[in-house]
């Protein structure tokens, strides 16, 4: 069953009175439980696609339906509520409030949500539960400048999960991390996906994309091709997946 349906999506910016068509009649579907990677050269429209289909940026034309809702028919307040309650977000830059500790940053979206009916105590305990799950409970009371980049990104994953979203959108979630931290973060995203949460992520790293079920390759605002890898199960098959994906990417002009 599909959770995200995109039809003839266009995104145009006007810069110095000139029209810049960043996305051109893009159509695709993401099914529940998938983990989809978006790849392509710099400036191809990867991040714009992610921001537009998640409602963070306005579409110029086309249709985006999320969990059956026509996002173009929602006003700004309704879109904000949809993003808060039904979507989770992870970014390359790990935006967190400096005046809050790690745990309080994680549970902040739960406190802001009107749809999350848990008590304040239950929200805090669920935040701690997520931190235990991702192996970072020991930094709950730390300030954001007292932890490593890998720990902070795992905290961002916890924050994205605090309202139990239907889908997580991630823009280069491992881009600012070293290889060890990158592998750990992708392991956690993989676990979340296997437990049922749909994930769509933008990445320039074929090693990251090889752990996804499907890869979409975008060039000049168009989806040039898609590659179905199937579900990633364990490390033993990773090298084979990376090799087949790299071969396909070379064919696409990577």
- Per-residue pLDDT at 78: 96
Write out pLDDT tens, residues 183-226: 888 999 999 999 999 999 999 999 999 999 999 999 999 999 99
Regions of the chain with pLDDT less than 70: none
Tokens of 176: 């600012």
Contact 63, 7 (CB under 8 A): yes
Look at the alpha carbons of 44, 47, 48, 49 in this order and tell me if their dihedral is positive or negative. Answer: positive
**Sheet strand arrangement including 167-171:** 87-91, 167-171, 198-202, 35-39, 214-219, 222-228
Q: What integer pLDDT is reported at residue 129 of this predicted model?
A: 96
pLDDT value of position 233:
86
Three-state secondary structure along 206-244? HHHHCCCCEEEEEECCEEEEEEECCCCCCHHHHHHHHHH
Domain limits, the chain: 2-252
| Burial state string for 99-122 with b = 16 or more CB within 10 A and e = fewer than 16 | eebbbbbbbbbbeebeebeeeeee
- The CATH code of the domain at 2-252 is 3.40.50.300
Residues 222, 200 contacting (CB under 8 angstroms): no
Closest CA to 116 of 79, 160, 85, 157: 85
Place of tokens 């979630």: 173
Tell me what pLDDT residue 65 has: 98
Residue count of the chain: 254
- The whole-number pLDDT of residue 92 equals 82
Instruction: Give the residue from 247, 59, 85, 62 showing the smallest Cα distance to 164.
Output: 85
Residue 203 pLDDT:
96
- CB neighbours of residue 230 within 10 Å: 10
Kind and range of the H or E run holding 23: strand 18-31
Under 8 Å CB-to-CB from 89, ≥6 apart: which residues?
54, 56, 83, 160, 168, 169, 170
For the stretch 126-153, pLDDT in tens is: 999 999 999 999 999 999 999 999 999 9
Alpha helix (H) residue ranges in 113-221: 120-133, 149-161, 179-194, 206-209
The candidate with the shortest Cα–Cα distance to 229, out of 246, 250, 206, 212, is 212
> How many C-beta atoms lie closer than 10 Å to residue 197's C-beta?
20
């Amino acid at each position: 069953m599909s959770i995200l349906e995109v039809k003839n999506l266009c995104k145009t910016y006007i810069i110095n009175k000139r029209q810049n068509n960043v996305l051109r009649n893009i159509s695709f579907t993401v099914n529940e439980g998938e983990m989809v990677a978006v790849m392509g050269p710099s400036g191809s429209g990867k991040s714009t696609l992610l921001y537009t289909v998640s409602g963070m940026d306005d579409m110029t034309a086309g249709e985006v339906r999320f969990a059956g809702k026509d996002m173009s028919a929602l006003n700004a307040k309704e879109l904000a509520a949809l993003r808060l309650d039904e979507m989770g977000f992870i970014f390359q830059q790990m935006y967190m409030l400096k005046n809050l500790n790690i745990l309080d940053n994680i549970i902040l979206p739960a406190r802001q949500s009107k749809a999350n009916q848990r008590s304040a105590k239950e929200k805090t305990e669920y935040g701690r539960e997520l931190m235990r799950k991702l192996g970072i409970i020991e930094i709950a009371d730390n300030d954001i400048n007292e932890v490593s980049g890998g720990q902070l990104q795992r905290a961002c994953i916890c924050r994205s999960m605090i309202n139990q979203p239907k889908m997580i959108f991630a823009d280069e979630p491992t881009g600012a991390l070293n290889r060890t931290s990158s592998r750990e973060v992708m392991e956690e995203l993989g676990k979340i996906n296997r437990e049922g949460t749909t994930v769509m992520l933008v990445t320039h790293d074929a090693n990251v994309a090889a752990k996804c079920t499907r890869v979409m390759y975008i060039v000049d605002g168009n989806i040039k091709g898609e590659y179905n890898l199937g579900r990633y199960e364990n490390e033993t098959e990773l090298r084979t997946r990376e090799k087949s994906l790299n071969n396909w990417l070379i064919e696409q002009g990577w």
